[in-house]
Structure formats: structure tokens, C-alpha cells
Amino acid sequence: MAGERELFAPVGPIGPMDQIQLSNASFEGDNNVYLLDDGPETVLIDSGDWMAETREQLAASLDKQGVSFGDIDRIFLTHWHGDHVGQAHHIQEVSGAEVYIHEADALLLEGDEAAWEEMGERQRDLFDHWDMPEPKQQVLEKIFESVPYQDNPVDITPIQDGDTFTVNGRTLRAVHAPGHAAGLCLFETTIDGHNDAFTGDALLPQYTPNVGGADVRIERPLEQYLETLQHIATAEYDRAWPGHRDVIENPTARAEYIMHHHEERSWRVLDALSRLGPSTTWEVSAELFGSLKSIHILHGPGESYAHLTHLEREGLVVCDGDQYQLAAGVEQELEGRNEEYWPLR
Ligand SMILES: [Zn+2]
Ligand SMILES: [Zn+2]
């Protein structure tokens, strides 16, 4: 894969900030690391994935800005996923950088055994409830084992919603934005007079971030994510700097689009249940997403489950054991579906 494309292409400088795009063969692709070094401090937002190639790319991109790992004072991590936190351990080892992440994600990054054990148990329980076939569970087990969180513990300074930091004279404010991950934080700041936010995976330009599978610890992930989108839409940021791919010039419109997308997806779940009758989460997922490979084996049913449980709380779906079906009377409402009837409002 490497060699077919530009390996490291720093997009910045964008005013006082540099966007460094790293190739990423896993997850959503094209990871961003942001460098704030327009003053005495050298600060990163996120750190790329674990791969040795990524470390080389990041080091080479920083070198072009005259920065080495040893210069980095602080790293703000948007959430615990491996494609964002991968180099934090290494950079901290070299520089002693202070590393921040929301308190909900802190124990995972510190390599806390009990926190990982709890995550594993929750996954196994859900895979049973979803009726995920055994061979598919084995594929996921292999993926989980391949991600070396516990071999790369990070000494974390936990943060909370509303915490503010001064970075080279500007204010960086953490905004808790859960849904995709329990501890996901946006970092709001001003860049060249723009009211901007670093959004991690809470707002992406191309994909709608996974809810339900990407962090199984979250109760009501869809509801929480919709609240996050509502926050982004009402904050009216000038620009969003996402964890993957290019800047989002109209974050409000993008957040509204993703809310709409989830409304449509809920309709598709209801429609699937209407055609299939009582179904497991795995069957609904197959109807929505077809046959799944790799990490999508987790994300497909996770997303379906997030919608099914949301619809269940809305009284549109009932659950019996591992089977979901339409609540009484919903079939008729589906026939009369129109713009005034949105299950998520
Ligand atoms: Zn993520
Ligand atoms: Zn990501």
C-alpha cells in the first residue's frame, strides 16, 4: 500500500497550526496529527497509530517543521482508539511529555488490567446477545490481540468536560463529546481568528463515525452521539479539524447531515424488522450491511444494536431474549411514513 501514494504530506502550516496527515492502512485511513508550536510550547493533538512506519512518517513530518519527539511538551488525545493514541507511549518515553485524555478513557491507556478485562467481558456478552457466529468472534479476537495497548502504557493526566489549557497564549478547551468513544473530547480553540475545534472521530468528513461497536462500554451510544452532534451544530464552529482526512469547512452542516443519516438508518432498521419479522442483531446487521469483514464485524452489529436499543426505548421495537421485533401498531405507521414522523426526534 505504501509507495502508491504520498507517504507523508503535511498540509500545514495553517496559520499557527500544522496538520500532519499520516497514511493508515487500518481503520478509517489518513490519520491526522496536529502540531501547535507557534510559541515556546510544542503540543500535539493525537499521535497516529502504533505502526513503526507511522512513527517514521510522524518523525519526518515533524522534522520538516524543525521539531523532534524530544521537543514535545504535551499531547492532547481525543479518545482511546489505537489510531489516535499509538505513538503517545513512545513520544512520552523520549520527551517526558504530559499526556491528556478524558478520565473515561484514562485507565485503558494506562494499561489497567481490570479496565481491559471489563471491556473484554462486555464484548463477549454483547457478541452472545447479538448472536455473532463463532468464527466471526474469532476474527475479532485476533484483531483485539494484535493491538498492543497494554504493552504501550501511557502516564495519563485525566481531564474532564470544560477543562481549559493555555497553549502558546491561546485557550484550548476540552468538550466531552461521547458516543463513538466514552471519553471522546473535542478541543475548541481559536486559530487565526477562527472559532475552530479539533473533533477527533466525533465529526469526520467522509464517514459517519461508528457508534455501538467502537466502544461497547457506552450505555445509549446513539443517544449520546446525537447529543454530541447537537452540540457541534449549535456551537457553530468555523472549521472542524477531524481525526481523519481533510478539514470540515462547515461543521454545523456536517453534524446536521449525520443526524439525518441516523434518522434514515433508524427507518431502515424498522423496515428490515418489518420484512424479516423477529430477528437477532446479527440478522438485522446482515440486512443493513451485508457480509462483514475485519473490524466491520464489530462495527456493523454494534451500529445495528445502537439503533435497535434506541428504537426500543422509543417504544417502536420490543426485545424478547436476543430477538427484536416491531412494537404493536408500528407496522401501520411505517406504511404512512412521512416527514413529520421521525423516530429519533
Ligand atoms: Zn475512533
Ligand atoms: Zn479514528
Read off the pLDDT of residues 199-209 as tens digits, 9 standing for 90 and up.
999 999 988 99
Q: Which of 172-181, 305-314, 324-333 has the lowest mean pLDDT?
A: 324-333
Average pLDDT over residues 147-161: 95
Residues in a beta bridge with 170: 167
* Grid cell of 262 as nine digits: 441516523
Q: What is the number of the ligand closest to the CA of 210?
A: 1
Q: How far does residue 204's CA lie from ligand 1's centre (Å)?
A: 10
Q: What is the number of the ligand closest to the CA of 27?
A: 2
Q: How far does residue 317's CA lie from ligand 2's centre (Å)?
A: 31
- Average pLDDT of the chain, as a whole number: 91
Position 24 confidence tier, pLDDT thresholds 50, 70, 90: low
Q: What is the pLDDT of residue 43?
A: 97
Position 334 confidence tier, pLDDT thresholds 50, 70, 90: confident
Q: How far does residue 84's CA lie from ligand 2's centre (Å)?
A: 6
Using CB atoms within 10 A of its CB, is residue 328 exposed (0-12), middle (13-18) or buried (19+)? Answer: exposed
Read off the pLDDT of residues 104-130 as tens digits, 9 standing for 90 and up.
999 999 999 999 999 999 999 999 999
Residue 22 near residue 58 (C-beta atoms within 8 A): yes
Q: How far does residue 203's CA lie from ligand 2's centre (Å)?
A: 10
Q: Looking at the chain, how many residues does it have?
A: 345
CA proximity to 271, closest of 328, 334, 317, 341: 334
Using CA atoms, how far residue 137 sits from 120, 297, 314, in Å, is 12, 8, 30
Read off the pLDDT of residues 273-306 as tens digits, 9 standing for 90 and up.
999 999 999 999 999 999 999 999 999 999 999 9
Q: How far does residue 159's CA lie from ligand 1's centre (Å)?
A: 18
Q: How far does residue 244's CA lie from ligand 1's centre (Å)?
A: 10
Supply the pTM of this predicted model: 0.92
Q: How far does residue 214's CA lie from ligand 2's centre (Å)?
A: 10
Task: Name residues with Cβ closer than 5 Å to ligand 1, which is an ion.
Answer: 81, 201
Q: How far apart are CA 155 and CA 99, in angstroms?
A: 7
Position 23 confidence tier, pLDDT thresholds 50, 70, 90: confident
Q: How far does residue 344's CA lie from ligand 1's centre (Å)?
A: 23
Read off the pLDDT of residues 243-256 as tens digits, 9 standing for 90 and up.
999 999 999 999 99
Average pLDDT over residues 4-19: 53
Residue 190 has pLDDT above 70, yes or no: yes
Q: How far does residue 76's CA lie from ligand 2's centre (Å)?
A: 14
User: What is the percent of the chain with per-residue pLDDT over 90, rounded to a whole number?
Assistant: 82
Q: What are phi and psi of 343, to 5 degrees?
A: -65, -20
Q: How far does residue 242's CA lie from ligand 2's centre (Å)?
A: 9
Residues in a beta bridge with 36: 17, 43
Position 3 confidence tier, pLDDT thresholds 50, 70, 90: very low
Position 9 confidence tier, pLDDT thresholds 50, 70, 90: very low
* Grid cell of 87 as nine digits: 505513538
Q: How far does residue 279's CA lie from ligand 2's centre (Å)?
A: 31
User: What is the percent of the chain with per-residue pLDDT over 70, rounded to a whole number?
Assistant: 91
Q: How far does residue 78's CA lie from ligand 1's centre (Å)?
A: 9
Give residues with Cβ within 8 angstroms of 209, minimum separation 6.
Answer: 179, 180, 201, 202, 203, 225
More confident residue, 226 or 11: 226
More confident residue, 11 or 304: 304
How far, in whole angstroms, is CA 293 from its chain's centroid? Answer: 19
Q: How many CB atoms lie within 10 A of CB 290?
A: 9
Residue in this structure with the C-alpha cell 502558546, named with its chain if needed: 168
Q: How far does residue 295's CA lie from ligand 2's centre (Å)?
A: 12
Average pLDDT over residues 90-108: 98
Q: How far does residue 270's CA lie from ligand 1's centre (Å)?
A: 27
Residue 31 has pLDDT above 50, yes or no: yes
The conformational region for residue 130 under phi > 0 = left, psi -120 to 50 = alpha, else beta, is alpha
- Through-space distance between the first and last CA atoms of the chain, rounded to whole angstroms: 43
Position 77 confidence tier, pLDDT thresholds 50, 70, 90: very high
Residue 341 has pLDDT above 90, yes or no: no
CA proximity to 217, closest of 339, 299, 120: 120
Residue 69 has pLDDT above 70, yes or no: yes
